[in-house]
Structure 1
Amino acid sequence: MSTQNDTAKAFKALHKPGNPLILSNIWDAITARTVAALPQTQALATASYAIAAAAGIQDEELTLETNLRAVSAIAKVANEFTLPLTVDFQDGFGDQLAEGVREVIRLGAVGINLEDLDRNTNALFSVEEAQTRIRRVMEVAKEEDVPDFVVNARTDALFTPASSSTSGGSLEEAIARGKAYLAAGASNIFIWGGPSRKGWGRDDVETATKALGGRLNVLLVMMQPGGLSVNDLSDIGVSRISIGPQLMFKVVSVLSDEAGAVLQR
């Protein structure tokens, strides 16, 4: 009989540099079921921005309770289709980190995204504090018999400006943090390009991919022309590609068009 840790191992194994795991991020049971039914789907992944939007709030207003409510519905779909589920867990919801991770594991998740931007201060955690939080996640996962739990550690250092307490705003800092997070137990690193994607072109992606041994998650930009394609990112050697809330934006656009056509007199 397959265990949750078997699923975690299988999910971890899908992260292959040069043959990346592609995640079409979802936000509720309907979108989870739609994506899960596609034969190409290998795993389900949530997008916190979209979950927050579906709840009528901003991403920064998302609470652990609201996130878990959405995850509970999505996890049932993941279980039905026998697919691994990874959860966008933002910065870990402050001191609710351990409690929250335990809950998502008990709902069936085998991985999370964990950010190093403290939403209470809007500044990066120190490297040491971010590492401690990753280690705590892995401790909880072991306690829940899922030692192969997958932490996709996101760093916002590429675009976050330096402050009096921490550096930031450079690729070098993002890579250094990524290496530190891998050392702390993360399986993969997500370097976010920031709201304007400044400074995150092909050369930078290649540099980060090489420095991190391919253990890199890159956001595929669907809504803007000229971005790196799935094939581009595969050739570079990344191990994971995600799209965040971009499917939600497309769904909203289609909904608006279709509703407008129905309502037109």
Structure 2
Amino acid sequence: MASKGLSELATAFRRLHRPGSPLVLANVYDVVSAKAVAPLPSCQALATASYAVALAAGTSDDDLTLEQNLAAARLIGKVAAEHNKPLTVDLQDGYGNKLEEAVRLAIIDAGAVGINLEDYDRERKRFYTVDEAAARVKAAVEIGAKQGLPDFVVNARCDTLVQGGDIDEAVERGRKYLAAGATTVFVWGGGKRGGISRAEVEKLVTAFGGRLNVSLKWPSGGLTISELAGIGVARISVGPTIMLLAMAEYERQAKQLLG
């Protein structure tokens, strides 16, 4: 059962999701990255990115196991606790019938007060139906409440666009996820598609009452944080971007040293 302090962190974390004044997350993936981000006065919370966690574990995002994901989350959770920052863990699709175990262990072992939950079943390579996905969102929220976190945050990821679907389906799914208890919906456009357009962001913000998470095209190439705030989004993240930038710089420095 979560402590009173963790419950208070969950409440504080939920309140950070304000349409028009978005929570900005510099996603982390291990102890080193967490220690770089957590002490920053501007850091309001820590968030993992499963893609980066997988790379650091020597595997791919599709092959990242629950055990590998939670192993990273536990270490990052210690850093979050040291700095009294909320932690949200990217639990991918919730690992099928392991959803309850995944959420419970993320809370108890890692001290998480929120998760990302996808609507695409990675093992069976298919979408959960909208009702199945909404039921899984509801279940995650209820599991959080049972662990003593009535304000447990679920950022429900909708993969409709990246899988070739249209914006109207994303709207339908997102509304169902919010009705099921999600705090925000993350509609991912993906790199091949070029992300989501300004018009799509505006449509989603209107449809979701601002409760939208957008992946920032950073450091350049897309809408800025201030522009997204002006449109009215509630949450902004960067996924594995900072890790990839850091590794490129690591390679550059190594080449200079070894050359």
TM-score, normalising length: structure 2:
0.96
Residue 150 of structure 1 corresponds to which residue in structure 2?
153
Residue 213 of structure 1 corresponds to which residue in structure 2?
209
Instruction: For residue 121 of structure 1, report the CA deviation from its aligned partner.
Output: 2.3
Instruction: For residue 207 of structure 1, report the CA deviation from its aligned partner.
Output: 0.8
Residue 243 of structure 1 corresponds to which residue in structure 2?
238
2: CA distance between counterparts of 1:197 and 1:229? 19
Instruction: For residue 226 of structure 1, report the CA deviation from its aligned partner.
Output: 3.0
The answer to whether the Cα contact below 8 Å between 1:114 and 1:151 also exists between their aligned partners in 2 is yes
1:29-44 correspondence to structure 2 within 5 Å: 29-44=31-46
Instruction: For residue 3 of structure 1, report the CA deviation from its aligned partner.
Output: 2.3
Structure 2 residue 182 is matched with structure 1 residue 179: no
Residue 142 of structure 2 corresponds to which residue in structure 1?
139
2: CA distance between counterparts of 1:194 and 1:233? 18
Report which stretch shifted further, 139-148 or 68-77.
Answer: 139-148
Structure 2 residue 61 is matched with structure 1 residue 65: no
After superposition, the C-alpha distances for 1:16-41 in whole angstroms (9 at most, x for unaligned) are: 11110000000001100100111100
2: CA distance between counterparts of 1:211 and 1:258? 46
1: CA distance between counterparts of 2:184 and 2:254? 41
1: CA distance between counterparts of 2:217 and 2:195? 14
Instruction: For residue 182 of structure 1, report the CA deviation from its aligned partner.
Output: 0.5
Identity %: 49
1:35-184 correspondence to structure 2 within 5 Å: 35-106=37-108, 107-161=110-164, 169-184=165-180
Report which stretch shifted further, 54-63 or 193-202.
Answer: 193-202
Instruction: For residue 2 of structure 1, report the CA deviation from its aligned partner.
Output: 5.0
The answer to whether the Cα contact below 8 Å between 2:48 and 2:89 also exists between their aligned partners in 1 is yes
Instruction: For residue 190 of structure 1, report the CA deviation from its aligned partner.
Output: 0.3
**For 2:236, what is the secondary structure of its paired residue?**
strand
Residue 191 of structure 2 corresponds to which residue in structure 1?
195
Specify the code of the residue in structure 2 equivalent to 1:127.
V
Residue 165 of structure 1 corresponds to which residue in structure 2?
none
* Compared CA separation, residues 29 and 97, structure 1 to 2 (3 A): same
The alignment's C-alpha RMSD in Å is 1.2
2: CA distance between counterparts of 1:76 and 1:152? 22
In the alignment, structure 2 segments of 5+ residues that lack a partner are: none
The answer to whether the Cα contact below 8 Å between 2:188 and 2:195 also exists between their aligned partners in 1 is no
Structure 2 residue 241 is matched with structure 1 residue 258: no
Count of paired positions: 256
1: CA distance between counterparts of 2:24 and 2:146? 29
**For 1:231, what is the secondary structure of its paired residue?**
helix
* Compared CA separation, residues 8 and 86, structure 1 to 2 (3 A): same
Instruction: For residue 198 of structure 1, report the CA deviation from its aligned partner.
Output: 4.1
After superposition, the C-alpha distances for 1:179-237 in whole angstroms (9 at most, x for unaligned) are: 000111111100001232347210110111111000000000116x4311111101110
Residue 27 of structure 2 corresponds to which residue in structure 1?
25
Residue 204 of structure 1 corresponds to which residue in structure 2?
200
Instruction: For residue 158 of structure 1, report the CA deviation from its aligned partner.
Output: 1.6
2: CA distance between counterparts of 1:73 and 1:131? 30
2: CA distance between counterparts of 1:35 and 1:4? 20
Instruction: For residue 242 of structure 1, report the CA deviation from its aligned partner.
Output: 0.1
Give runs of ≥4 in structure 1 deviating > 3 Å.
Answer: none
